[in-house]
Amino acid sequence: MRQVLDRVGVRMEKNFERTFDSLDKIFQFIESFLQTESSDPGLLHDVNFAVEELFTNMVKYNPTGPPDIELGLSFVDGALSVSLTDRETEPFDVTQAPPVDIHRPIEERKPGGLGLHLVKKVVDSLEYRHAKGTTTIKFSKSLR
């Protein structure tokens, strides 16, 4: 784990093994970081949900990638900023994933996409960047 102090504040970064079994350690890392700034259980729930969805997609859709995925957390302007970085990836812009019509009967829906649809609902901003085979997904969630 790296802890970096910069002009924005404290940023913590940690690599997690590319496996679904890493989720408990990820949740502990997030909870520990949030305890310094927020006691809102709703914030923890939303952040855990978004990170779980994005991390598991990285594991699922890039199973032969490098052994680790990096998770970064920082506080910026009254918000939690979260980044997930995966290397040796193909482009897939999560911000451009098609919307899911949740009002259609389930038997009429195409499978897939519901997780990203829900992530977009619980975070305040979502950004995607792909350069030189590296994908970085960032989101923010207000501390208010």
pLDDT beyond 80 at 7? no
Tokens representing 127?
A: 């950004």
Instruction: Identify the three-state secondary structure at position 15.
Output: strand
pLDDT beyond 60 at 4? no
Percentage of the chain with pLDDT > 90?
A: 60
Indicate the range of 8-17, 21-30, 36-45 predicted with least confidence: 36-45
pLDDT beyond 90 at 104? no
Name which of 111, 43, 107 is nearest 79 in CA terms.
Answer: 43
pLDDT beyond 60 at 92? yes
Domains of the chain (ranges plus CATH)? 2-142 (3.30.565.10)
pLDDT for position 2:
53
Neighbouring C-beta atoms of residue 44, cutoff 10 Å: 18
Concatenate the DSSP letters of all residues of 85-116 into one string.
EEES-----GGGPPP--TTS-GGGSPSS-HHH
Indicate the range of 3-12, 21-30, 90-99, 108-117 predicted with least confidence: 3-12
Is 76:9 a contact under the CB 8 Å cutoff?
yes
The pLDDT mean for the chain works out to 86
Terminus-to-terminus CA distance in the chain, angstroms?
27
Beta bridge partners of 87: 134
pLDDT beyond 70 at 94? yes
d(CA 82, CA 80): 6
